[in-house]
């Protein structure tokens, strides 16, 4: 597997060397409406889950306070802040891992960064609120920029013709916003947005062709965990999609993913270690070594 041109990235004192192994991002949802059925209602439960994920081999913790499932009504800004800020602050204090805020509105991101978050995970890739890019630049934070197919801009990107062409167009728009705001490119991670506005067939094609995004020279995050495409293929509810998740995680790594965002950390840590041993020739017993 060819190494990335992007340099290593240090987040909360931890160095992420892209291409050497797969990093695990554990999902902590403080949104009771979460599609995956893992939404937590209080801070103590969120901290307990983050601690468990750290013990199971997570490299990052991603905290989100709003469901992003299709058709869900958007929370008010203040309501989202009230959910995420106490959880972020408590997890940062309890767990010695980088903590990400999964949010796309500048006031929420600012409040989470003030509470100690180290990384911004924007499911709209700065295109919903360019103020997020300015915050990232001002605070010196790394960021995940996702292509959200729900938010395609036909006037900019043209009509849909091809999964990878759409992804490239979307990332070019996000990266242009980042550049204008002054965000260094080496602090960015891209996410193709599996499950965000794509059909089942397009999601599967995305995984098959993931390696075609490597020409952007940026680390790739993929989040397939428990998503509806797995349910459509397997005919199973969210809680029973662990083996489907395992298959897609292994394929994502084989096709170029550097970070996988998952709900089931212990099981996916084994998948990552085994797949890395095959794909990268890396069989380290300590995933965070």
Can you list the positions of beta strands (E) in 30-74? 60-64
- Please give the backbone phi and psi of residue 259, each rounded to the nearest 5 degrees, phi first: -130, 140
Q: Are the beta carbons of 177 and 223 closer than 8 angstroms?
A: no
* Rounded Cα–Cα distance for residues 103 and 82 (Å): 13
Query: CA-to-CA distance for 267 and 196, rounded, in angstroms?
Result: 24
Look at residue 219 and give its three-state secondary structure.
Answer: coil
Q: What CA dihedral angle connects 180, 78, 103 and 273, to 10 degrees?
A: 150
Rounded Cα distance between 247 and 218, Å, is: 24
Give me the active site residues, please: 227, 261
H or E element at residue 10: strand 9-11
Angle, CA of 184, 185 and 186, to the nearest 5°? 90
User: Tokens 């096709």 map to which residue?
Assistant: 255
- Supply 256's token pair: 């170029």
3-state helix, strand, coil split of the chain in percent (to 5) is 45, 15, 40
- Specify whether the CB–CB gap between 191 and 147 falls below 8 A: yes
């Amino acid at each position: 597997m060819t190494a990335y041109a992007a340099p290593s990235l240090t987040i909360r004192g931890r160095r992420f060397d892209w291409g050497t192994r797969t990093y695990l991002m554990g999902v902590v949802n403080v949104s009771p409406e979460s599609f995956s059925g893992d939404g937590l209602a209080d801070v103590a439960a969120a901290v307990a889950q983050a601690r468990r994920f750290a013990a199971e081999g997570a490299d990052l913790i991603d905290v989100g306070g709003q469901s992003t499932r299709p058709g869900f009504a958007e929370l008010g800004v203040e309501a989202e802040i009230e959910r995420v800020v106490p959880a972020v602050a408590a997890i940062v204090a309890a767990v010695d891992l980088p903590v990400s805020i999964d949010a796309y509105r500048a006031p929420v991101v600012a409040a989470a960064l003030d509470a100690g978050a180290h990384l911004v995970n924007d499911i709209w890739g700065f295109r919903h609120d360019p103020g997020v890019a300015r915050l990232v630049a001002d605070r010196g934070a790394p960021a995940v920029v996702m292509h959200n197919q729900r938010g395609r801009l036909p006037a900019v990107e043209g009509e849909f013709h091809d999964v990878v062409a759409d992804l490239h167009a979307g990332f070019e728009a996000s990266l242009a916003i980042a550049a204008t705001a002054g965000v260094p490119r080496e602090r960015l991670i891209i996410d193709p947005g599996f499950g965000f506005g794509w059909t089942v067939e397009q999601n599967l094609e995305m995984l098959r062709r993931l390696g075609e995004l490597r020409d952007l020279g940026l680390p790739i995050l993929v989040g397939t965990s428990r998503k509806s495409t797995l349910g459509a293929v397997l005919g199973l509810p969210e809680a029973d999609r662990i083996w489907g998740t395992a298959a897609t995680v292994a394929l994502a790594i084989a096709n170029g993913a550097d970070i996988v965002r998952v709900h089931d950390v212990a099981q996916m840590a084994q998948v990552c270690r085994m797949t890395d041993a095959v794909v990268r020739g890396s069989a380290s017993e300590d995933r965070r070594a």
